[in-house]
Amino acid sequence: MSELSRKISFFVAGIPKAMQTGSIVRSKSGQAFPMRRHSSWGSTVGEVARRHAPAVPFLGPVALTLTFLMPRPKTARRRQHPVVRPDVDNLVKGMPDSLNGVFWADDCQVVELHAAKRYDPQGRLGVEVVVEDLDGPEVLDQRVGRP
């Protein structure tokens, strides 16, 4: 990846899992916090993402595209779209958090989010991730000290 790359794409193999908040857990001090389910999927995504990360996280606005490739049930051979659980919004939850410090400092920088569930014609399972720095080339030049 060049120093001025603005778009990064990669694939994470595995069965996509919803990362919605599970039950509420209390610490010994009584503080309540949500427990995430399927955090191992988020960890796997974060691990693969770090292999594709830029040298310095993007500083400005970012677009994130997530295409989840789902297993096709035998009963859905003719169905074109995975109209099954998990819901696409639950698949997305937690994904931006797992990329904090990798592609951006904080997920508040994600100003565009595109998500889809699909069956892959080749039968791949996982998520295709595309991260795009939305700042123009002139801003990128300023970041790396070019006139």
Could you tell me the CATH number of the domain that includes residue 111? 3.30.1330.70
Domain presence at residue 40: yes
Query: In which domain, by residue range, is 45 found?
Result: 7-143
Domain presence at residue 1: no
Domain presence at residue 131: yes
- How many domains is the chain built from? 1
At 35 the pLDDT is 57
Domain presence at residue 124: yes
At 25 the pLDDT is 66
Beta carbons of 21 and 34 less than 8 angstroms apart:
yes
| Positions of the chain with pLDDT under 70 | 1-5, 20-27, 32-39, 76, 136-147
Classify residue 106 by its DSSP letter. S
Domain presence at residue 54: yes
At 5 the pLDDT is 54
